[in-house]
């Protein structure tokens, strides 16, 4: 059976082949009427662009990569879902690349990967987003990249972030409203600089509220580190009445350890997280958390990067909003 080509689409839509090409390549200044006609013809004919031919014509591979190093599979899954959606919207394919390398080994492996796969651009998430050695090497090599949830912004960078500080303030105010005056915060991976804004938000909310004790415990964004932090926090006398973890994985570890000790949640201990991954609504009791628009972050990052690759205007926008999600893991302070 003959493969449907761009000329077939042009005939079906009643337009020129150049017009079809402009729609496929998402060029600017294409009218809505033209776009709809071409997209309708594409759907009717089940047309798929020949990526190899496009690559030869444009000198681009029409692939971008997502570089990640994270213990939270739930967070990664949601991001990848959004990145794929952004790629589909612009006719791109996504390549996934997980790394555990550090320092110069990380830089070398990423540069080798980018050359081997002939990617047009690279997306990354914390803690890679703030690795200055890696960023400098990518700049020197001329590799275009975008960053999801970076700790600091870079001039002319393509950065997608959320309102971490405001979200942490809102969660802390929620715990204070329930009467909690001894609150613990479990911080995340030290390399994830955006998480420092969450601790700043907790501190600012407490400074503006009633007298309250804050206990900060180091975590590393994993379920296991949440368990370890909970063992230390819950062995204190007096122990905290509420624990706010910098992500849902660590919060789940706190809930597990608390229940192992026979504590009732939220009667004896309130627990809160951050991200609102699938885990948050699948554990018992359901986790009070901050909903990050993770999928939207991934989609926006992909669109920004691909637009920059294609020479279109692409600039970092305002932080995407977060939302406080109250479930059964938080309640009135005991006593």
Q: Do the beta carbons of residue 197 and residue 168 sit within 8 Å? A: yes
Q: Do the beta carbons of residue 8 and residue 47 sit within 8 Å? A: yes
pLDDT tens digits, one per residue of 23-32 = 776 666 778 8
Using CA atoms, how far apart are residues 309 and 91, in angstroms rounded to an integer? Answer: 13
- pLDDT of 236: 96
- pLDDT of 310: 85
- pLDDT over 90 (residue 259): yes
pLDDT tens digits, one per residue of 126-177 = 889 999 999 999 999 999 999 999 988 887 789 999 999 999 999 999 999 9
Using CA atoms, how far apart are residues 238 and 284, in angstroms rounded to an integer? Answer: 25
- pLDDT of 57: 46
Burial class (CB in 10 A: 0-12, 13-18, 19+), 136: exposed
Bridge partners for 123 per DSSP: 66, 146
Say how many C-beta atoms besides its own lie within 10 A of residue 2's C-beta.
5
- Alpha-carbon distances, residue 142 vs 111, 155, 174, 335 (angstroms): 10, 16, 46, 60
Of 132, 129, 62, nearest to 301 by C-alpha is 129
Using CA atoms, how far apart are residues 110 and 87, in angstroms rounded to an integer? Answer: 21
Highest mean pLDDT among 11-20, 114-123, 231-240: 231-240
User: Do the bridges between strand 63-68 and strand 158-160 make them parallel or antiparallel, or are there none, so unpaired?
Assistant: unpaired
Using CA atoms, how far apart are residues 259 and 269, in angstroms rounded to an integer? Answer: 10
- As a whole number, the mean pLDDT across the chain is 89
Q: Looking at 50-59, 65-74, 223-232, 311-320, which range is the least confident one? A: 50-59
Say how many C-beta atoms besides its own lie within 10 A of residue 316's C-beta.
19
| Angle (CA) 10 13 16, round 5° | 40
- pLDDT over 90 (residue 202): yes
Question: Taking residues 211-219, what's their average pLDDT?
Answer: 96
Residues in the chain: 335
- pLDDT of 46: 77
- The two tokens of residue 278 are 């699938």
| Angle (CA) 36 311 305, round 5° | 85
Q: Name the percent of the chain lying above pLDDT 90.
A: 62
Of 299, 297, 303, nearest to 322 by C-alpha is 297
Of 99, 71, 65, 98, nearest to 83 by C-alpha is 65
pLDDT tens digits, one per residue of 230-244 = 999 999 999 999 999
Binned at pLDDT 50, 70 and 90, residue 58 comes out as very low
């Amino acid at each position: 059976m003959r493969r449907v080509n761009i000329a077939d689409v042009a005939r079906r839509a009643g337009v020129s082949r150049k017009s079809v090409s402009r729609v496929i390549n998402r060029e600017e200044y294409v009218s809505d009427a033209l776009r709809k006609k071409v997209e309708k013809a594409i759907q009717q004919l089940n047309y798929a662009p020949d990526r190899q031919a496009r690559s030869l014509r444009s000198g681009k591979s029409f692939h971008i990569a997502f570089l990640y190093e994270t213990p939270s599979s739930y967070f990664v899954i949601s991001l990848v879902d959004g990145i794929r959606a952004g790629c589909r919207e612009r006719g791109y394919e996504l390549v996934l690349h997980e790394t555990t390398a550090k320092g110069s080994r990380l830089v070398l492996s990423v540069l080798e990967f980018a050359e081997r796969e002939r990617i047009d651009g690279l997306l990354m998430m914390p803690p890679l987003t703030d690795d200055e050695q890696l960023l400098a090497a990518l700049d020197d090599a001329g590799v275009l990249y975008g960053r999801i949830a970076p700790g600091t912004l870079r001039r002319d960078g393509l950065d997608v972030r959320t309102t971490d500080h405001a979200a942490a303030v809102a969660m802390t105010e929620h715990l204070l409203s329930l009467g909690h005056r001894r609150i613990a915060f479990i911080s995340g991976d030290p390399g994830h600089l955006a998480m420092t804004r969450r601790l700043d938000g907790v501190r600012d909310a407490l400074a503006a509220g009633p007298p309250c004790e804050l206990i900060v415990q180091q975590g590393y964004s994993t379920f296991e580190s949440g368990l370890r932090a909970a063992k230390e926090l819950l062995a204190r006398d007096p122990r905290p009445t509420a624990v706010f973890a910098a992500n849902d994985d660590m919060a789940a570890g706190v809930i597990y350890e608390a229940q192992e000790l026979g504590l009732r949640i939220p009667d004896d201990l309130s627990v809160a997280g951050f991200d609102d991954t699938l885990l948050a609504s699948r554990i018992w009791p359901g986790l009070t958390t901050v909903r990050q628009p993770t999928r939207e972050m991934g989609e926006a990052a992909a669109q920004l990067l691909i637009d920059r690759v294609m020479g279109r205007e692409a600039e970092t926008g305002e932080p995407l909003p977060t939302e406080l999600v109250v479930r059964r893991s938080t309640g009135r302070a005991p006593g």
